[in-house]
């Protein structure tokens, strides 16, 4: 999993939409408090939800929750609505005009630019007696404490690949084996799924491009101790479109299996192309 961010602005500026539930029954709200880091050897996110929120009921009931980041300039009205009205009183999904995007676990929206899927590990109420007086007075005059939910990050979908803006969603991973490839899977805004495997070692570089399906996209990076599993899955289930190598002891070469490879994978930096 790959994520580049300024950790202190991530929640405060990002205003993610916290969503919990299944496709028939879920709720979401805007949040701006949260933390990311490492706990129990896992990549984790903590969010803080007051007991009074309708979303709180779903956070208690469900095993997974998601954080969905939209472009704040474009979706300011939606974020304000999700952060001021309750799902108890209105159909929030209808009001935002968003479209549900089901993940293997959890719910997000096709309109977003980043999705983080978390498996709930832990919940605890923030103990008001253990807080500094000025915090208690400022935030908890009327009670309604925050519950802290810690979730293990199990999936990150991001629309930025190599820092270029696009409206596709990507997941990337470096594998954990000594010689496993970096992998990237992409869901394009036209609904096609493609993948890149890229390996660079002392001997040179090797790239493979594939067409894949939604199942492979969904499964990529979700394996426990991923190692070669995502790479293997893409190689086994994907349809190879292109392969290129630039190895130290031989001439660079490319093998085209489908001439549409560069249209299908226009998001990738394709090895062997002159503009590189």
d(CA 36, CA 152): 10
Q: Is-contact 108 66, C-beta < 8 A?
A: yes
Contact flag: residue 32 with ligand FMN (CB under 6 A):
yes
90 vs 252, beta carbon nearer ligand FMN: 90
Cα 160 versus chain centre, distance: 11
Which H/E stretch holds residue 93? helix 92-96
d(CA 150, CA 39): 9
C-alpha closest to that of 123 among 195, 20, 222: 20
Contact flag: residue 55 with ligand FMN (CB under 6 A):
yes
Residues 6 or more apart from 161 whose CB is under 8 A from it? 168, 170, 172, 184, 186, 267, 268
52 vs 176, beta carbon nearer ligand FMN: 52
Closest distance to ligand FMN from the beta carbon of 79 (Å): 7
| Number of residues this chain uses to bind ligand FMN (CB under 6 A) | 19
| Among 27, 68, 180, 181, interactor with ligand FMN by CB under 6 A | 27
| Among 10, 15, 193, 242, interactor with ligand FMN by CB under 6 A | 15
x/- contact string, 68-87, with ligand FMN (CB under 6 A)? Answer: ---------------xxxxx
d(CA 148, CA 259): 51
47 vs 156, beta carbon nearer ligand FMN: 47
Q: Which residue has the closest beta carbon to ligand FMN?
A: 83
Contact flag: residue 33 with ligand FMN (CB under 6 A):
yes
User: What is the chain's length?
Assistant: 276
11 vs 183, beta carbon nearer ligand FMN: 11
| Among 21, 44, 53, 238, interactor with ligand FMN by CB under 6 A | 53
Contact flag: residue 31 with ligand FMN (CB under 6 A):
yes
- List phi, psi (to 5°) of 195: -145, 150
Contact flag: residue 29 with ligand FMN (CB under 6 A):
yes
| Among 30, 160, 188, 254, interactor with ligand FMN by CB under 6 A | 30
CB-based burial of residue 2 (10 Å sphere; 0-12 exposed, 13-18 middle, 19+ buried)?
middle
Contact flag: residue 48 with ligand FMN (CB under 6 A):
yes
Query: Which residues are bridge partners to 117 per DSSP?
Result: 66, 155
Binding interface with ligand FMN (CB under 6 A): 15, 27, 29-33, 48-50, 53-55, 83-88
């Amino acid at each position: 999993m790959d994520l580049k961010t300024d950790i202190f602005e991530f929640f405060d500026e990002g205003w993610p939409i916290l969503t919990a539930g299944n496709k028939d029954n879920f709720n979401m709200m805007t949040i701006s408090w949260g933390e990311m880091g490492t706990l129990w050897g896992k990549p984790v996110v903590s969010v803080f939800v007051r007991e009074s929120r309708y979303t709180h009921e779903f956070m208690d009931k469900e095993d997974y929750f998601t954080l969905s980041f939209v472009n704040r300039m474009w979706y300011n009205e939606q974020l304000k609505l999700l952060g001021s009205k309750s799902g108890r009183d209105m159909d929030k999904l209808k009001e935002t005009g968003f479209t549900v995007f089901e993940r293997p676990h959890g719910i997000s929206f096709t309109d977003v630019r980043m999705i983080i899927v978390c498996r709930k590990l832990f919940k605890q109420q923030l103990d008001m007696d253990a807080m500094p007086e000025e915090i208690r007075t400022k935030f908890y005059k009327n009670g309604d404490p925050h519950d802290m939910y810690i979730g293990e990050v199990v999936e990150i979908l991001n629309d930025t690949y190599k820092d270029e803006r696009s409206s596709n969603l990507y997941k990337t991973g470096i594998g954990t084996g000594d010689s496993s490839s970096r992998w990237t899977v992409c869901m394009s805004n036209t609904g096609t799924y493609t993948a890149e495997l890229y390996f660079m070692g002392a001997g040179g570089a090797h790239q493979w491009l594939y067409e894949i399906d939604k199942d492979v996209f969904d499964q990529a990076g979700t394996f426990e101790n991923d190692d070669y599993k995502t790479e293997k899955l893409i190689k086994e289930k994907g349809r190879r479109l292109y392969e290129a190598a630039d190895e130290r002891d031989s001439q660079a070469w490319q093998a085209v299996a489908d001439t549409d490879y560069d249209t299908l994978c226009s998001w990738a930096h394709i090895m062997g192309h002159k503009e590189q």
